[in-house]
Amino acid sequence: MKFDVELVGKIGSMALIDKQDNMIDYTRVARLSRELKPGYIWISSGATEIGRLDFMMRAGYELPDDEDSKTDYSAQGQAILMQTYRQYVDSKYSVRQILVEHHHFNDPAKRKKKKKLLLRCKEQNAIPIINYNDAVSQSENRRMEISALAKSQAEVHECIDNDETASLVACLVRAETLLILTSVDGIYTDPNDPSTLIEEICGKDAYELIDNIENYKKYCEGASRKGANGAKAKLEYVKAAAAQGTRVLIANGKYSIREVLSGKVKCTAIHIR
């Protein structure tokens, strides 16, 4: 298979937060940012949580736990997130924020436009930073739109989980590697026992690989935070990318991109043999 992009990477919210100080982990973002280069596409969660922490620091209180507050936090956090990436990405590269919603992947014309935009970034020495557009998303409207789409097409994408977004982007641009960075070392058969890390899921072809992914999904329960979909969802989301020949790596965000790609650290690797 010919690959158009070297890497699509995604980092989760909890992997971006310094839990001890309740703030963005600037050291981690700086380290990852310095590794980004043209030919990499980066999906970054964290805007809502970073916005929440920043608002609390400035206002001294937390907003009500509702959808409007999520919108407000996201709008505040996006500015901080992009400012931080721009600060640490090599100054010779351009940085471009790309906000996506479900219709960008469910509509063929919009999907084609997004693909062209992402591939132009590589040609123009730019690094795209992608996130879901929470600041304009309204869950009730989104559910109605998804329901309507499901009546007219076999496959519908919601994209509010950035693991799904990352896999869809990897499929869209035919990425050689899909890297999912999280707060743990990968997928476990028992999340309470580090020795049960699944280091490899593979198959002789796409069909056997999908069967093996389905087999491991039955071990996966729980998530790293409220509202997250967890390991089972990660395995479901990456199936399409893995089946097309993309190597999928699910690893701990404490490691550098280079360490994970070179196999120097433990992670879960999913691929066709």
CATH number for position 156: 3.40.1160.10
Q: Which of 118-122, 156-160, 202-206 has the lowest mean pLDDT?
A: 156-160
pTM attached to this predicted model: 0.88
Confidence check: pLDDT of 141 > 50: no
pLDDT at position 20 is 85
Parent domain of 239: 5-272
Of 87 and 154, which is predicted with more confidence?
87
Residues 258-272 have a mean pLDDT of 97
Name the H helices within the chain: 13-16, 26-35, 47-59, 67-88, 103-106, 108-123, 139-150, 162-173, 206-217, 230-243, 257-262
Report percent pLDDT > 70 for the chain.
87
Q: Residue 198 above 70 pLDDT? A: yes
Instruction: Dump pLDDT digits (tens) for 65-85.
Output: 998 998 999 999 999 999 999
Tens of pLDDT, residue by residue over 83-92, are 999 999 999 9
pLDDT tier, 116 (very low <50, low <70, confident <90, very high otherwise): very high
CA of residue 237 relative to chain centroid, distance? 10
Q: What is the mean pLDDT of residues 219-246?
A: 78
pLDDT band at 234 (very low <50, low <70, confident <90, very high): very high
Q: Is the pLDDT of residue 9 over 60?
A: yes
| Lowest mean pLDDT across 35-44, 146-155, 157-166 | 146-155
Neighbours of 250 (CB within 10 A): 26
Q: Are 271 and 202 in contact (CB under 8 A)?
A: yes
- Report the pLDDT value the prediction gives residue 67, as an integer from 0 to 100: 86
pLDDT of res. 219:
83
Asked if residue 39 lies in contact with residue 176, where contact means CB atoms within 8 angstroms, the answer is: no
Task: Between 152 and 239, name the one with better pLDDT.
Answer: 239
What is the domain count for the chain? Answer: 1
The rounded distance, in Å, linking the Cα atoms of 62 and 64 is 7
Query: What tokens does 83 get?
Result: 């400012």
In this predicted structure, what is the pLDDT of residue 108?
87
Question: For the chain, percent helix, then strand, then coil, each to nearest 5?
Answer: 50, 20, 30
pLDDT at 271: 97
The confidence score (pLDDT) of residue 109 equals 92
